């Protein structure tokens, strides 16, 4: 209504005469593009901006004009900002505005809501910021103490310390070092055999040998794959109120773990995440990997029930860009959705340039409840052959079933029911208690239809058949039904006769014996008067109850002479029905035998790739100017590479190459910083997901560039960079230190003068306890969610597989994950929280899991046989803490053990000792 009025001549004339002059004179000074002012976020010089509104929302209320924010501002109401502020407009003018709004705010002014131009950002100046400058390959600096460094990394650390006249801490002892490296690389503890082998190896290459061994284990891939999954916001449910299961998410998890085991170059991993489906592949296996890699784009938390599908598309694209920005570029791109980024050089135009790429990508398939995009994977040849064979037989069965239906339908029209013998009451004449739907689905039946109980309200329903017996005597009673699977085996039929009542149970799955339609339930004496037969439903929960016709036949009555033609037709019809029944059974069996072809979460290019419009103030339906697809202008690749060339497709392939380019100043730095963080507990950039103006500056910028350069030079190999860092003397320092001056000058250890004490991750804590108890399920790969999984909200975690294979839920995580700061799967998490709260100690003290594990470990300790308490205690300490107990620790523990044993028994005493070690700081923390 308002739209039509707005275009009417009377409405436009009213606007031109009464409204526009007031806006120009009293409003444009603070609310127009020409004046360069948008007070309160509101432009009033074009219709689109006026309808869109400002920071306080829309200024117009067409249904209640006087309540409009614009009118209330003009009347200078106390709870809104006055407009104009200096002097209140006349009552007549305000009345005109009320009338105009009530008319639907007719307004002939054209034009889109203006968008701030990216040209306002000085990109050349912005590129002087450290993270946007090209990566250098700095030479290791000279140091005064040439005897200390073992690697180039050590030169960078020591030079910084020497500039502050500080000294690094001493080297960590071998026991500490072995536990540290084993936990860092695998998330698992070193065994006593590992300890013995390392302690006797006095060679210079002892640690290198351990590192090389661990880097080639599945445990390493699972540990470092989990680090990567943190930034991929991996989960097995969609989040939100419904929290729909993501049954194929595990394929992405296994793909990531496999990629780290193979040491897939990190730049290639990024390319596959963004555009794996668009990359060339040499084999079906490689193709499967790359498609699975794009699951990265659809793993985010989304409300698929959102009925505004345009908004849902924009929300998904926004989350994808934000994830790519934080995970690989260290940039908060999502902040530019509504306006130019407040801090970083990312204009809104750049945001929608990238959004056009993802809005040209099929990530979701819409319906009432939309669903993430899935892709078919190439199965194993054997599976494909089995699938094809079953599919072929299914097709043949379907063709034959169609032929049978046509034949039986045609035959049924020519079959005539014999004239009923005796007295017959059809279902149309019976009395039914409850709802008995009519049906003509399954032949044969008597009359026009038959009834069934719909398998509902069993025991309450019954069909009552009554007739008048004119001549007393003995009668046979028959009921008709069409027998087949799905019927009840125990249908109670009650016959009221001269001697009382008789109840007969009828198996309606069996075909009736008389003409394939009637079933005899016996002979009974009947007197003159009303005879009743009741078909009941009590005790028939195993299937449907059929009620068709009931027949009373006087004993000795002669059957109608058989019509041979009709008999032949009936026989043929029965044979066809039998064949159909067999084919239906075979079809069901094939459904179970048919292998399920693999699918994975993944994206593909949309049918048409298009540039998209800027959404004014981030609103999905408020379209501004259209911008070409592209990337962040502030990132200059140099080296003759284009920063914004997008071809005919979505642009994801070009985006992937841009992000993973060795000339992109952000990506290699971000990845090198992440590796450093996981190995030393703190990044050289303390804000690993934010390399922008509000992030932290690098503590050692030259070292960061050195590491980024080494990552690129070594083919983006994570393993090679990890190895180099671990073999540095910096990484091998003790955590307690000895330089009191360093502790005073640098209490936060920003200069890295000692190692950082770090708490175990939640999954390492759980996995390690399972290893000690002997209960760890070593099965790897495969689905996280069990068959028949419905909801995360009542899920019980019973599996004892390694934690990386546990389901990750967005609403209800494993108790240990929640307690010990597992990564929030709704966000990119470059660095986990590290809280120390009472609930953690309480969990380790009281958890049934810990008690059961300690008891199981106690059993294995006692299996050693006749071994002294002291030796058993030493082995227990070495198993759990990776070291021998001190003399004082051994004394206290033995006293405790003997006291507990006297009171609770041998096994319980050892379990108590083990629980004590589980709760101690030296177990929970890595020094």
**Looking at residues 876-882, what average pLDDT do you find?**
95
Lowest mean per-residue pLDDT among 101-105, 209-213, 652-656: 101-105
Lowest mean per-residue pLDDT among 95-109, 134-148, 173-187: 95-109
For the beta carbon of residue 916, count every other beta carbon within 10 angstroms.
Answer: 18
Q: Which pLDDT score is estimated for 5? A: 37
Q: Which pLDDT score is estimated for 80? A: 79
Percent of all residues in the chain with a pLDDT value above 70, rounded to a whole number: 95
| Confidence grade of residue 204 (pLDDT, cut at 50, 70, 90) | very high
State the chain's maximal CA–CA distance in angstroms.
127
Cis peptide before 84 (omega within 30 of 0): yes
Q: Which pLDDT score is estimated for 172? A: 96
Tokens linked to 145: 């103490």
pLDDT digits (tens, 9 = 90+) for 791-828: 888 899 999 999 999 999 999 999 999 999 999 999 99
Q: Which pLDDT score is estimated for 32? A: 78
Of the candidates 462, 894, 828, 835, the one whose C-alpha atom is nearest the C-alpha of residue 674 is 828
Backbone phi, psi, residue 54, to 5°: -125, -150
| Confidence grade of residue 1 (pLDDT, cut at 50, 70, 90) | very low
pLDDT digits (tens, 9 = 90+) for 314-371: 999 999 999 999 999 999 999 899 888 888 999 999 999 999 999 999 999 999 999 9
Q: Is the pLDDT of residue 111 over 70?
A: no
Q: Which pLDDT score is estimated for 571? A: 79
Q: Which pLDDT score is estimated for 280? A: 96
Q: To 5 degrees, how large is the angle CA 465–CA 467–CA 473? A: 120
Q: Which pLDDT score is estimated for 876? A: 95
pLDDT digits (tens, 9 = 90+) for 388-410: 899 898 999 999 989 888 888 78
| Confidence grade of residue 4 (pLDDT, cut at 50, 70, 90) | very low
Q: Is the pLDDT of residue 847 over 80?
A: yes
**Looking at residues 589-616, what average pLDDT do you find?**
92
Higher pLDDT, 690 or 119: 690
Q: Is the pLDDT of residue 640 over 70?
A: no
Q: Would you call 748 exposed, middle or buried from its count of C-beta atoms within 10 A (0-12, 13-18, 19+)?
A: exposed
CA distances from 228 to 162, 601, 816, 829, 830 (A): 35, 18, 20, 9, 9
Helix or strand holding residue 623 (H, E): strand 623-627
Q: Please state, in angstroms and rounded to a whole number, the distance separating the CA atoms of residues 420 and 94.
A: 89
Q: Is the pLDDT of residue 7 over 80?
A: no
Q: Is the pLDDT of residue 453 over 90?
A: yes
Are the C-beta atoms of 356 and 610 separated by less than 8 Å? yes
Q: Which pLDDT score is estimated for 898? A: 92
Lowest mean per-residue pLDDT among 22-36, 171-185, 488-502: 22-36
Task: Spell 35-65 as b/e; 16+ CB within 10 A means b.
Answer: eeebbebbbbbbbbbbebbbeeeebbbbeeb
Q: Please state, in angstroms and rounded to a whole number, the distance separating the CA atoms of residues 472 and 833.
A: 91
Q: Would you call 468 exposed, middle or buried from its count of C-beta atoms within 10 A (0-12, 13-18, 19+)?
A: exposed
Backbone phi, psi, residue 824, to 5°: -70, 115
Q: Is the pLDDT of residue 865 over 80?
A: no
Mean pLDDT over each residue of the chain, to the nearest integer: 90
Q: Is the pLDDT of residue 3 over 50?
A: no
pLDDT digits (tens, 9 = 90+) for 38-82: 777 788 888 878 877 776 777 888 878 888 888 888 888 877 788
Give me the residues paired with residue 439 across strands.
450
**Looking at residues 178-206, what average pLDDT do you find?**
96
pLDDT digits (tens, 9 = 90+) for 737-787: 767 788 888 999 999 999 999 999 999 999 999 999 999 999 999 999 998
Percent of all residues in the chain with a pLDDT value above 90, rounded to a whole number: 68
pLDDT digits (tens, 9 = 90+) for 218-240: 999 999 999 999 999 999 999 87
**Looking at residues 544-552, what average pLDDT do you find?**
96
**Looking at residues 587-603, what average pLDDT do you find?**
91
pLDDT digits (tens, 9 = 90+) for 127-166: 999 999 999 999 999 999 999 999 999 999 999 999 999 9
């Amino acid at each position: 209504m308002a739209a039509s009025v707005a275009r009417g001549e009377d409405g436009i004339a009213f606007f031109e005469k009464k409204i526009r002059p007031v806006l120009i004179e009293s409003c444009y000074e603070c609310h127009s593009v020409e004046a360069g002012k948008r007070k309160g976020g509101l432009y009033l010089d074009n219709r689109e901006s006026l309808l869109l509104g400002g920071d306080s929302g829309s200024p117009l209320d067409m249904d209640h004009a006087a309540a409009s924010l614009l009118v209330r501002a003009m009347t200078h109401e106390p709870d809104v900002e006055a407009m104009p502020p200096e002097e209140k407009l006349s009552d007549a003018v305000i009345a005109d505005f009320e009338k105009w709004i009530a008319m639907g705010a007719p307004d002939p002014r054209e034009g889109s809501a203006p968008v701030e131009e990216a040209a306002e950002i000085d990109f050349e100046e912005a590129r002087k910021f450290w993270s946007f400058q090209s990566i250098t390959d700095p030479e290791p600096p000279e140091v005064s103490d040439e005897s200390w460094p073992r690697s180039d990394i050590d030169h960078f650390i020591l030079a910084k310390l020497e500039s502050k006249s500080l000294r690094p801490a001493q080297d960590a002892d071998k026991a500490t070092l072995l536990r540290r490296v084993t936990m860092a690389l695998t998330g698992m503890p070193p065994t006593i055999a590992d300890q013995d082998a390392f302690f006797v190896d006095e060679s210079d290459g002892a640690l290198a040998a351990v590192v090389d061994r661990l880097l080639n284990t599945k445990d390493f891939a699972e540990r470092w794959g989990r680090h990567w999954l943190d930034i991929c916001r991996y989960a097995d449910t969609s989040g939100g109120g419904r929290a729909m299961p993501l049954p194929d998410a595990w394929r992405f998890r296994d793909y990531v773990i496999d990629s780290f085991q193979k040491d897939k170059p990190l730049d290639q991993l990024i390319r596959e995440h963004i555009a794996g489906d668009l990359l060339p592949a040499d084999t079906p296996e490689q193709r499967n990997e790359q498609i699975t890699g794009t699951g990265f784009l659809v793993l985010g938390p989304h409300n698929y029930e959102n009925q505004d599908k345009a908004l849902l598309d924009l929300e998904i694209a926004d989350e994808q860009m934000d994830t790519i920005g934080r995970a690989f570029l260290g940039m908060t791109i999502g902040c530019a959705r509504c306006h130019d980024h407040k801090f970083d050089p990312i204009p809104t135009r750049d945001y929608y340039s990238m959004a056009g790429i993802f809005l040209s990508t099929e990530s979701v398939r819409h319906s009432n409840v939309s669903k993430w995009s899935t892709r078919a994977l190439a199965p194993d040849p054997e599976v494909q052959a089995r699938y094809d064979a079953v599919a072929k037989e299914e097709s043949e069965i379907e063709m034959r079933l169609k032929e049978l239906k046509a034949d039986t339908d045609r035959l049924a029209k020519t079959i005539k029911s014999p004239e009923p013998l005796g007295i017959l009451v059809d279902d149309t004449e019976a009395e039914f208690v409850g709802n008995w739907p009519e049906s003509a689905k399954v032949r044969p039946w008597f009359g026009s239809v038959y009834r069934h109980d719909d398998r509902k309200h069993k025991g309450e329903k019954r069909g009552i058949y009554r007739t008048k017996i004119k001549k007393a005597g003995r009668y046979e009673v028959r009921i008709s039904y069409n027998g087949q699977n799905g019927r009840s085996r125990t249908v109670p039929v009650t016959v009221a006769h001269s001697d009382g009542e008789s109840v007969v149970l009828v198996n309606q799955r069996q075909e009736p014996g008389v003409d394939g339609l009637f079933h005899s339930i016996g002979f009974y004496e009947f007197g003159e008067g009303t005879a009743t037969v009741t078909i009941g439903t009590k005790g028939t929960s195993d299937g449907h109850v059929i009620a068709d016709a009931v027949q009373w036949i006087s004993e000795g009555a002669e059957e109608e002479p058989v019509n041979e033609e009709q008999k032949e037709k009936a026989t043929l019809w029965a044979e066809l029905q039998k064949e159909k029944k067999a084919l239906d059974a075979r079809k069901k069996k094939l459904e179970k035998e048919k292998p399920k072809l693999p699918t994975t979460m993944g994206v593909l290019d949309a049918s048409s790739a298009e540039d998209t419009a800027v959404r004014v103030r981030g609103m999905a339906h408020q379209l501004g100017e259209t911008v070409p697809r592209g990337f962040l202008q502030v990132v200059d690749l140099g080296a003759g590479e284009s920063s914004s060339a997008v071809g005919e497709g979505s642009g994801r392939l070009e985006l992937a190459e841009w992000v993973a380019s060795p000339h992109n100043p952000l990506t290699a730095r971000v990845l090198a910083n992440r590796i450093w963080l996981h190995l030393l507990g703190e990044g050289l950039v303390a804000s690993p997901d934010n390399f922008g103006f509000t992030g932290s500056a690098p503590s050692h910028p030259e070292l960061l560039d050195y590491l980024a350069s080494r990552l690129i030079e070594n083919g983006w190999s994570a393993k090679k960079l990890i190895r180099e860092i671990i073999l540095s003397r910096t990484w091998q320092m003790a955590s307690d230190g000895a330089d009191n001056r360093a502790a005073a000058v640098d209490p936060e250890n920003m200069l890295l003068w000692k190692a950082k004490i770090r708490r175990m991750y939640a999954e390492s804590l759980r996995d390690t306890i399972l290893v000690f108890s002997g209960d760890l399920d070593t099965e790897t790969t495969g689905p996280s969610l069990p068959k028949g999984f419905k909801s995360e909200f009542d899920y019980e975690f019973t599996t004892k597989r390694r934690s990386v294979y546990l389901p990750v839920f967005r609403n209800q995580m494993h108790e240990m994950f929640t307690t010990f700061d597992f990564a929030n799967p709704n966000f990119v998490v470059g660095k986990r929280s590290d809280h120390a709260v009472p609930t953690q100690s309480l969990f380790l003290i009281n958890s049934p899991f810990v008690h059961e594990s300690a008891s199981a470990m106690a059993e294995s300790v006692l299996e050693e046989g006749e071994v002294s308490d002291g030796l058993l205690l030493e082995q227990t300490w070495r198993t759990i803490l990776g070291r021998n107990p001190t003399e004082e620790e051994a004394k206290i523990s033995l006293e405790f053990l003997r006291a507990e044993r006297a009171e609770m028994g041998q096994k319980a005493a050892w379990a108590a000792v083990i629980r004590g070690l589980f709760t101690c700081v030296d177990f929970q923390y890595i020094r």
